Structures are given as structure tokens and as C-alpha cells.
Chain A
């Protein structure tokens, strides 16, 4: 049972700027945990602090029961995979893979056994004698993973490992990583700025923003119930529609539509959020009709995105069938699933609990 726990962890640089601000996190044993956020949000720094590549300015890091702040990186029993793989360019694939084992004095036959195991698992056998310069991006990625696997650590730390790959390969590697995780059963902490990676692979996602944790939760939880407008827009493609509205008399008013709320008191300016797939052109039962005018239809192949303009000029996106034909400028009636509607405080951006 090896849990990784960050308690009030902060990273402040010599210049005074704070990269990570009082982060509390608990990563469960065997979990595929994704740190998601835009660049500069502090997710990589958090990962590097866990690995021991960056000193922690304040707060505590525990792996299991042990406080790790001052423990040398090599004694933390973690494996790190770098964004640009950090392979040793002068060594062959085999040399790169066995580098750590040699350093730790693993006996020769044992080295060979484990090397064979990992090369088979990752399909690296044909490339053992090549140097990194002669490999493709995906192959280098696999070597970097192999190097981590050979450590047999309590957790794998992956720093944007897929960001240097092209889109097709990235999708393929996502699947491979998930399979790998299932096979080895160890904790993976995966840093990415790509919400699709996070959604597809994670057991739990931690979304970071400006050095702080914005929300931690299972992918669908984060998707359905974003904790604030930042999470709402950072997840989903296209992102959640945010429309200005008003809370009054137990109902929310927006875009000339009114939706009564079940048990809601209070009044004020709110932001109304709903995802593109929560709207339909068809007037399904219990749906709230909203009048809009067509701006454009963007065909994606499997489906299309209808961009429509609400009363008051705010634009929203809506997922529609691929063969939808609508003239720009023509009026259209869209139907919202009221259960999927989310409310955020206009001032703070925080979610307002809708159901009592």
C-alpha cells in the first residue's frame, strides 16, 4: 500500500514567483492519476518535486508513511519519463535500457532477463543496437518507457510523454499506456495539457490552474460537474458553453429563456453552463426550447458543430448530426436538457450547487 501524498506543497523560485501554491493531493496506490492544465499551471513542477528533481519550498511529500522532502531522487523508488525522452544519444537502445541497472549493480543474467522481458513487452527487440538518433519518435518514447519499467518502481512519473508525437501515434500510445498500466499495476502520475489524454487514460484527474488545484475527480465527474468556469472550459472539445444569466425568483433567466429551479433560493448574476451535446434540434420531452439563429455548421465527419447566436448575441456550440443543413442567418430552435445545466457564480467562477 504505497500512497503518494502532498500536503500544502509550495514551490517558490528565487525570483519570488510561486509556481505551485499550497497543493494538497493524495494519489492512491495503483492509480492512473493525471495532472492536467495549461502550460505554466505548475503541473510539471509538481511532478518534478515528487521525483526530487526540484526541491520543495514548503509543505510535505509522503510516499507511503515516509516523508520524502530531503530524500535523494534515486532513493525515492520512482521512475521518470521525460517529455523529450532524455535518452543518452551516445548509447544504443540496449545501453540506454541497462544504464540504470548497471549503476545499481544488478547482476548480468538478471539484467538480461529483465531486458528481454521489457523489450518484448514494448516491441523493442529489433532496435536494441540502434542509437536514439536512428529511431522514430514513437520508438524513442518506448525506449524511455522501457527504461522506466526496468526500474520496477512504486510509481511512474510521466512528464508530457506524448506531446512530441504526431496525432495518430499519440492516440495509439494512449491505448498502449493504459494497457501497460493494467499490466504492471503500479501508480502512474501523468502530466499533460491535453484534456483528451486525461479523459481517456485517467482513473482520476487533477486540474491545475495558476499553481493551485482547481478540481480533483474521476474524468466524467470533472466533465459533468466542473468545479469552476476554468475547468468547464478546459475540458471538452468544443468546451462547455457559458452564457450570462440571472437568478431570480427561483428560476434562472438567460437568452430570453427561463428555467425554474427545483429548490433554489437567492438571486444574482450567474454564468450558465451546458455542454454542446446537451442541446438538441429535436424537441425531446422535458427540454427547454431556446431561440437562436444559425451562424455556421462545422462538419467534423462523424458529427458536426452548429454555431448559433442566442438573443443578446452570445454564441454557443451544439453537437448535431453530420448531415445537418442549415442556412446561416436562419432562425433555429434549440432544446436544452435542463438536468445538465450548471450554474457558476459570475464573480468567482465557482460552481453553485444546483440541487439542494
Chain B
């Protein structure tokens, strides 16, 4: 894919020669990049501007971006920013404000789902990015088992409540326990977790925290609030799910290790990024085609997204804006969603044509509406590292959840102080 993209972008570049206006963008090799690629001929036709995409792996992106952002004139006209980096990029002042351009062109920014706009759009009242695609987390579960009358009766007899799509967190925990211990399916588990340090465990556990009504910090003071009854409950439940109700090895599972267990039909549920939902229906990588569904995580799952931005080092900011305006226009956003893109605008999830194609779009819209954000500040990645370490120690090494979370709070506070957020 990467080769194909490079080859085709080189072809485009050579076909139009040096006179043509060209903008360069560094992108990650993910499906949404492919959908952007497919829109480029239309953009060229409309504006005459060529777009060259340099596609690399996530691990390379940050190291490639920083030198170009620091330089007075970099080589990228447009950059995409993971919410992880928003704090760092804005603190360093590498991005151009977009408000005047939005106003001048009357760009419909209100289309964006507010939580996503907050994550990779507006920072302290200034619009520095426009959301590109989301990777909010949802609860994927076995619809077929949930609808099985035998299980419905057995579950009700044991737990005294209906077996249905969970809307309350304790309800979900009961289901996990039921499918691990009571459902009588050989080698089947109620949940598969992604317990590897640092991102998988931190991202997944965030859902448990929010579901228990916990939060990372006090929004008024930035005081960390993890070593609270809610946080401790979340970590205890998470540890139990891995150690008691999950498959062995989940304590070191990455995204794909865990997804494969779910896709092989060996677990009832898996909290994962919503963009993996369609993969369950791909017979090439799934044994559970048509059997999995996605729902919002009770209490609101973890949000995640990428944003488009124009760096201050952009050689051609006007052309860059032309591109962002085009690629994020409602019409093109819908086209990308039709190809499979993970949209960030509200109206997409209400579009009849799209709902026709993706039956789970209403749930997805709801999921995004209630998704909650991870702390965004300069040291977000460092914080994830700390959080992942302590969570993993509590899950695998017998560290007391309260002690672990106190340690996180302590180091979180240090990072926030270093960033000037916490006084």
C-alpha cells in the first residue's frame, strides 16, 4: 500500500511537471489515509493543486515531523496531529491559528462533534486544527450470544437482570463474569483485554475509569484525581477482568493480540477502537462475521482523534488551507465515510444513505457524543508511559491499586507542574 501510494504520488508529480502548485503532507499508513488519497484527483481538478502524500508508520511520524516544524520553512504544507501531540505542538507554538480563514470562508466548524473538536481542534479558544478522523473506543460484543434465549434465561436466573446491551457498567461486569464462568462454553472468556504497556493498557483502562465515574484530574485546578474510590474500583475491576475472567496472556496483549482473540470467537467482549468494527465482518480476518456489534461504553468511552493543521513552517499555507477546506467539506467528508472513513462530523452519522450502508452508525454517533477525552497537555506521552507502568504493575506484579494510582497521581502532578498547568 505504502509503495503504491508513493508510486502514484510520484506519478502525479511527474505528470504535471514543476510549474504545477504542489503541497506535501506527511501521513500515517492507515485506511483513512487511503480514502484521502482517493479524493486527490477531484481536488486537483477543482484547484489545480497537486498533493504529495508521504506515508510512514506511526513510530516514524513524530521523529520526521519535529525537525520540519522547528525549521523556519519546513517541507510539509499540511500536517496531521495525533491528540497525543497536541499539547507538545501547541506549547511549542508550531501551528497556525485557523480562525480567520474559517471566518473568511464561512467554513461550517459547528458540524464537528464537540468532544472531538475539543480534542483535536480548539485549544484554549483558538482553532489550531480541524478534526480528521476519530478513533474513539467502543464496546464490541457478541450480539448472537446476547440474543440467545438460553443465555438470557440463565443470566437472569443467576444475576437477577436482563441480558441485553449493557447501559450500566455493573451490568457489563456481570456479563463478563457470566460468560467466563457460567455460560458453559469451552475455552470461552467474558472479555479480552489489551494489557500491554504503555498505550494499550492506558487507553483501555481509561474506559474503566470513566465508567466508574472517575476522571483524570479536576478540570478547575488540574489536580490529579486517580487515587480516588472511583479510580481504585476501576483498577480493581480491570485487574480482575484480566486475571480472573480473561484469557491467559492478556496482561501483555497489544491491540492486535487482543483483537485476534475476539475475532477468533474466543471472547464475549472487547473494548476497542471503533474503526475495528468493520473488520469483524471481514471473513479474511474474522471467525465471527455478523456476530459482533459495537455499543457505547457505559459511562462514555475514551475519545481519540487526529486533526489537520497548518504548521507555521508551511511553505504554502494558502494552498494548505484550500486542501483542508476541501477534504473536510461535508460533501467530501461523506465520500470518505462511504469508503469506510471514521468521520468526525455529526451529520454523517445521521445520513440515511450511510446508515443504510453501516447499520451501526446510530450507535457510533451516540458513542462519539458521549466519549470522554484523555488529558491533553505537553507531556501526554510521558504521562501515558507512567500510567501504563503503574497499571501493569498493579495487574501483573501484585502492586496495590491504591498505591499504584497514588504513584501515578504523584508523577502526573510533577508533569503538570513542569507544564505550568498545575500550580
Direct contact of A and B (CB under 8 A): no
Give the interface of B toward A (CB within 8 A): none
Give the interface of A toward B (CB within 8 A): none
